[in-house]
Amino acid sequence: KNEVEQSPQNLTAQEGEFITINCSYSVGISALHWLQQHPGGGIVSLFMLSSGKKKHGRLIATINIQEKHSSLHITASHPRDSAVYICAGHNTDKLIFGTGTRLQVFP
């Protein structure tokens, strides 16, 4: 069983839709990262959170420590949000990655 599991694997949306990507993790994960990877490989770290909620622009990340669950929300989605979103659990000094969610937003 993977220590970090993401869903869905693929997601398509129309521009303007509200999007949610989910991530569940196992014991031993002390913090959760959300990463964005565009075609070509470049990765951007969006959030790191160990409790509560963080917001940056149209992106919101939440984490429920008791449930061991985190969500990434995108409000008013736009085609430029099309990318692979990866959650990663921080375990000691290493990151354990989910399999990623491929998001495509159509105009």
Partner 1 sequence: KAGVTQTPRYLIKTRGQQVTLSCSPISGHRSVSWYQQTPGQGLQFLFEYFSETQRNKGNFPGRFSGRQFSNSRSEMNVSTLELGDSALYLCASSLVLAGGSYEQYFGPGTRLTVT
Compute the least distance from the CB of residue 17 to partner 1, in Å: 26
Compute the least distance from the CB of residue 10 to partner 1, in Å: 14
Compute the least distance from the CB of residue 1 to partner 1, in Å: 15
By beta-carbon proximity to partner 1, the closer residue of 65 and 95 is 95
By beta-carbon proximity to partner 1, the closer residue of 46 and 77 is 46
Where on the chain is the footprint of partner 1 (CB under 8 A)?
31, 33, 35, 41-45, 48, 50, 86, 88, 92-100
Which whole-number Å values give the CA distances from 77 to 22, 68, 80, 106, in the listed order? 16, 26, 8, 9
By beta-carbon proximity to partner 1, the closer residue of 60 and 95 is 95
- CA 32, distance to chain mean position in Å, is 9
DSSP string of 44-94, one letter each residue: EEEEEESSEEEEETTEEEEEETTTTEEEEEESS--GGG-EEEEEEEEETTE
